[in-house]
Structures are given as C-alpha cells and as structure tokens.
Amino acid sequence: MKIGVLAVQGAAREHILCLSRLGVEAVPVLRPADLAGLSGLILPGGESTAQWRLLSRAGLLGPLQEALKEGLPAFGTCAGLILLAREITNWPERYFGVLDVVVERNATGRQVDSFEAEVKVEGLGEVPAVFIRAPAIRAVGPKVEVLGRYDGEPVLVRQSSILGATFHPELTEDLRLHEFFLNLCGKG
Amino acid sequence: MQKGTYRVKTGFAEMFKGGVIMDVTTPEQAQIAEEAGAVAVMALERVPADIRAQGGVARMADPKRIKEIMNAVSIPVMAKCRIGHIAEAKILEALGVDFIDESEVLTPADPFHHIDKWQFKVPFVCGCRDLGEACRRLAEGAAMLRTKGEAGTGNVVEAVRHMRLLNDQIRRLKEMSRAELVTYAKEIGAPVEILEMIQELGRLPVVNFAAGGIATPADAALMRMLGADGVFVGSGIFKSANPEKRARAIVLACTYYDDPELLAKVSEDLGEAMPGIEIEKIPEHALMQYR
C-alpha cells in the first residue's frame, strides 16, 4: 500500500514519518504524477490559504479534485480538514468541499491559546492531541460520523473513507489514528 | 489541557515548513502577502532596508500597528522584539502575537543575555550564524531558528554562509565520539546535551528557516536547496517594483525549488528587485549579524 502526503506546504514530514513507522510506503505529493497508484492521501497541517494557492498555481488542483471525487480515501488534519470541508464560516473561499462539515478557521484563537490535550475517540479511548490555532467543526452532515470529541465538541469526523481532525496526531508518538486511516484505505 | 508547551510551540513552527514569511508594515501589505500565499507575516514599522538606511535605535513596532495588521489577515502574525528586551516580548505576548522574533535587526537591548524564552507561552524564533549560536538559542527556549544573513541588503551571501556553516558543523558532529563532542561543545559554546540531541537526530531539533538578504525567487530556491525549511523575506518584496508578482513567485519557488523550468517561468518579468548592497561596503559596526 502506498499513501501520499500532500507536501506543497506544511507538516508533511511528520505524517511521512508516522506512516513509515507503521511500515507503509509514504510519498510526498507535489505534482499530478505523484498521485499515481495511491491508496490514500493525507492532507497535513500548515496554512490552508497558502496550500490552496500553491495547489491552484502549480496545476495540482484539478487532478486532486478528480481523485477525491473518484473516492480516494483522505485524511485531513487541521488545515487539511479545512481544505476538505464543505463550508468555512469565517472565510469567503471554499476548497475541495468533499467532507460534509462546516468549519470555523482559527476557532481556538491565537497561538498563545494553542494546547495539548487527550481526546476521547470511539473504539480507541484517549488519544493525545495537539491543537494549533485549530479550526472547530460547527456542524456535521447526515452522513458524517463524529468519532472524537474534546470538551463535548466534535474534533474527529468520518464520512465513508474521508477522515478529518481539527488537531495534529502527527505531532505525537501515538500512531493509532494513522492506523485507523490505513484501515479505511485498505477497504477502499 | 496544557497551553504553551514546547511541543505546542515547535509543532506550530512545523506548520510553516515549505512556506514564506513576509515582512509587512501596513494592513494592505499584509493582505497582499496573504493573497500571495505567505504562511505568516512579520509586522514591522520599518523594513530592515529602511532601518539600515535611517539608522538610530530600532525598537519594537507600535502595538497599534501590530493590532491593525493582526486584524487585517487570517494567517499568523509575528513581530520583532529587541534582543534581551523582556518587556517588549511581554507586550507582544499580551497583544496575542503568534510568534516573537528576538531579532538582531532591531537594536539590542541587553549586552549580556538573550531572553529566557522558557518563561513565555508564545513561541520565539531566533537568528543564528552557526551551530554554537543555534544551540545557545535552543537552550534559552527558542522554538524555531533562522539564519541571520545580513538583513536589508538584498544580498544572499551571508544567509548562504550561515546555512553552509551550520550544515558543515552538523555533518562533522554526526561523526564525533563522545569525547570529541564534549570538546567541540566547549569550542563552539554549545551545551553538551543539546549537541547530543542534534547528533542523535542528525539535524536541528526545530524548524530552521533562511533569512537575511533574500530578494528573488532564485534566492529562495537556493536556500531551500541548502536545506532551509522555508524562507523569511524582509525588504525583498515591498522594496521591489512589483510586490504582488514577486511575492507569488517567491512562494512558488520556495515549494518547487527543485524544478528549474518552473523557477525560470516564475522569475520572468518581475520588474526591478530591491537595490542590493555589497557586504564589503558595509562598515563592520553596521553589520547586524554580529549583534
């Protein structure tokens, strides 16, 4: 199984390391050709505005949109979740829009309010999470399952083989969410 | 729930990787930077080229200016405090600035010490010219590093010097025995335990950007080829003839630094770059990197 990690900007290296530790081939995705033969794609944290502009200016947008529409399993963390979301409450743009959730950018505030905490995840128990200027999930569509909550609010969601987290599992040593995603890719 | 942990600080810096952080002096410039694809902006009253030209004591920017810039964009906002100026840093933290650059571009406030950055919730980035300086800043709690280069010159040679030196020192460190490492730590003024950590990792433990003199897409690409995780562009964008176009070009060059055809395309017809200065023409006391 080969998993791509979108690498135009952001924390791609950390996800690639997590996947490598799980014995999976992980490749950075920078060009349309990098999408060939992927069983899944991780959209890492970073700046969603910068990532989107790079994707559109480097000709990667169309091929990526196509792959996601065709059902390529995807896991978006933080900025990656924003790129996948159907709607952003406090930003005029809409990106891939393949995950039926409404998100708010920078909902936890500025960097001094960024934090680490344990998140309750269905079937996995407590999972360590790092929230960095994190978005919030304000609404979820009927086909979206809330898998993890923090402080009562959804922070990890799944819609078929698309997974979205408002936090960064790749900044911790815990690989269970990556494993969980690999299972979704295997079924796809 | 824990705020301001080292992991939260260094993790935030990881999110900047592959990106460009741009100096801006007005809300309008900040919006141009955001639209161009900057991963963050550095809010300033004067860009380094003007600080250099005008002289005098360079201090933290007016909080009003910083707040205006914070309100104008959705991307992170950084601001500079003087080296060792704990009070300026506390003010910037209270303003909610996302990252503080304890910067040699401003006039140093403390002739003896840098700030003890462990005492803050907000993360700090610091400049370094070599491995010893990098290790000292890490010991003080810096969550991100950058080369010093020579700011405000539009001349990349010093940033290249600092990145080359660092690379060379890390390469040699990897081969050292424990005894050699201890002696080396003394030579370069670095704490032993931090050198050990770098030896084990085979690289710096935090994100390291290039800064100081980057003026063109090719400069940004060069620094990435040398191993920089991303670039700061100070005067290079808003002191050039066409800031929008140049900013976009540098953003693309920073990601696709290994694609010469794309670099050629984005480098085309950008208009005048900022005027450059030869380092040899600058009197030694006016060099910012020795601060």
Return the closest-CA partner of residue B245 out of B265, B219, B224.
B265
Give B288→chain A minimum CA distance, Å: 29
* Cα distance between residue B248 and residue B246, in whole Å: 5
On the question of pLDDT at A61 being above 50, the answer is yes
On the question of pLDDT at A188 being above 50, the answer is no
* Cα distance between residue B183 and residue B189, in whole Å: 10
Query: Token pair for residue B101?
Result: 């650059």
Tens digit of each residue's pLDDT (9 = 90 or more) over B277-289: 999 999 998 999 9
* Cα distance between residue B78 and residue B15, in whole Å: 14
pLDDT at A186: 86
**CA B126 to the chain's CA centroid:** 7
Verify whether the Cβ–Cβ distance B252 to A113 is below 8 Å.
no
Vertex A126: Cα angle to A123 and A130 (nearest 5)? 125
* Cβ neighbours around B253 below 10 Å, total: 26
Q: What is the mean pLDDT of residues A151-161?
A: 97
Q: What is the mean pLDDT of residues B28-47?
A: 97
On the question of pLDDT at A101 being above 90, the answer is yes
Prediction ipTM score: 0.97
pLDDT at A131: 98
pTM of the model: 0.97
Tens digit of each residue's pLDDT (9 = 90 or more) over B245-271: 999 999 999 999 999 999 999 999 999
Please tell me which of the candidates A54, A110, A168 has its beta carbon nearest to residue B255: A54
* Cβ neighbours around B87 below 10 Å, total: 11
Please tell me which of the candidates A54, A109, A132 has its beta carbon nearest to residue B8: A132
Verify whether the Cβ–Cβ distance A30 to B256 is below 8 Å.
yes
On the question of pLDDT at A96 being above 50, the answer is yes
Verify whether the Cβ–Cβ distance B19 to A106 is below 8 Å.
no
Tens digit of each residue's pLDDT (9 = 90 or more) over B192-202: 999 999 999 99
Q: Which chain A residue's Cα is nearest to B31?
A: A49
Tens digit of each residue's pLDDT (9 = 90 or more) over B175-193: 999 999 999 999 999 999 9
Helix axes A48-57, B243-255, angle to 10 degrees: 90
pLDDT exceeding 70 applies to what percent of chain A? 99
CB contacts, 8 Å: A112 with chain B: 3-4, 93, 96, 98, 121-122
The mean pLDDT of chain B is 97
Q: Burial, B206: exposed, middle or buried (Cβ in 10 Å; 0-12, 13-18, 19+)?
A: buried
CATH number corresponding to A2-187: 3.40.50.880
Phi and psi (nearest 5°) for A92? -70, -20
Please tell me which of the candidates A49, A57, A117 has its beta carbon nearest to residue B252: A57
CB contacts, 8 Å: A32 with chain B: none
Residue A136 makes CB contacts below 8 A (sequence gap 6+) with A103, A104, A107, A108, A153, A166
Q: What share of chain A is helix, strand, coil (3-state, %, to 5)?
A: 30, 35, 35
* Cα distance between residue A32 and residue A48, in whole Å: 19
- C-alpha torsion sign, points B70, B76, B82, B88: positive
* Cα distance between residue B154 and residue B136, in whole Å: 27
- C-alpha torsion sign, points B193, B141, B50, B17: positive
Cα distances (Å, whole numbers) of residue A158 to A26, A81, A133: 22, 11, 22
Return the closest-CA partner of residue A65 out of A130, A15, A6.
A6
Contact at 8 Å (CB) between B235 and B214?
no
User: Which value, to the nearest 10 degrees, does the dihedral of the CA atoms of residues A168, A171, A175, A176 take?
Assistant: -30
Q: What is the mean pLDDT of residues B75-85?
A: 98
Residue B192 makes CB contacts below 8 A (sequence gap 6+) with B181, B182, B185
* Cα distance between residue B217 and residue B178, in whole Å: 41
* Cα distance between residue A94 and residue A122, in whole Å: 29
Residue B130 makes CB contacts below 8 A (sequence gap 6+) with B162, B165, B166, B169, B188
The pLDDT-based confidence of A187 (bands split at 50, 70, 90) is: low
Known catalytic residues of A are 78, 168, 170
Contact at 8 Å (CB) between B151 and B276?
no
Q: Are strands A162-165 and A74-77 parallel, antiparallel or unpaired?
A: parallel
Q: What is the mean pLDDT of residues A113-134?
A: 97
**Segment among B67-71, B75-79, B115-119, B281-285 with least mean pLDDT:** B281-285
Vertex B79: Cα angle to B84 and B229 (nearest 5)? 95
**B80 a catalytic residue:** yes
On the question of pLDDT at A119 being above 60, the answer is yes
Query: Token pair for residue B201?
Result: 């990792």
On the question of pLDDT at B145 being above 80, the answer is yes
